[in-house]
Amino acid sequence: MKIIKLFLLVIFSLSLYACNLSTDEKSADLQKTTKYQKNDISFSMPSNWKVTEDNGENSARYLFVESPGSAIMIINTYEKETAPSLQEYIESLTSERSNEKFFWGLGSLSNGSTSKIKRTINNHEVNAFKNEYAANIAGINVPHISEFYSFDSKTHIAFVSSQTATEDLPLVADGFNLILSTFMWHEDP
């Protein structure tokens, strides 16, 4: 039941962020970074980004890291034994997202297309997924992009996803990369 609630919360938040079609996005400020550490997870983020949500425990936890505009990183954690696969997680989010309406029924999000990608994080090649989709409000389509990553500990797994309007990606990509390259689990051995 907790997993379903987390999925619904993430879908709701995706809908809210898609509403902000005209963003005033700012570049990720990497001159100063902020370290975030709580409940066995740590990462660094641009100084002009904020953790706006951190709820639950590692067996069912979600964190939102937001840019000054509408870009967001979402971290969902699960116990390994009950966690969906990364692909199942993505399929669940994208299929639920397409059923959501927002902005008084005038807005919607498409499923888009999902593809497997390879990225280099800390000199290691990792498999990830990219989802390109559109937010539509009153007939205006705004292309968006999400990327999905997985980080394992001994007993838990974190799915880390980024989301932004495609036009804002050049402004926020360095912020996303900073979080991904510094994300760590700190569980007792």
C-alpha span between 145 and 120 (Å, rounded): 18
**Each residue's pLDDT expressed in tens, for the chain with a length of 189 residues:** 555 545 544 554 555 454 444 458 999 999 999 999 998 999 999 999 999 999 988 788 999 999 999 999 999 999 999 999 999 999 988 877 766 666 666 777 888 899 999 999 988 899 999 999 988 877 888 899 999 999 999 999 999 999 999 999 999 999 999 999 999 999 765
- Please tell me whether residue 113 adopts helix, strand or coil conformation: strand
**Residues 6 or more apart whose Cβ sits within 8 Å of residue 117:** 127, 128, 129, 130, 147
Place of tokens 């999905």: 148
Whole-model pTM? Answer: 0.83
pLDDT recorded at residue 102 = 67
Ranges of each domain in the chain: 2-22+32-185
**Residues 6 or more apart whose Cβ sits within 8 Å of residue 17:** 70, 72, 163
Mean pLDDT value across the chain: 85
C-alpha span between 67 and 62 (Å, rounded): 17
The CATH architecture that domain 2-22+32-185 belongs to is: Sandwich (2.60)
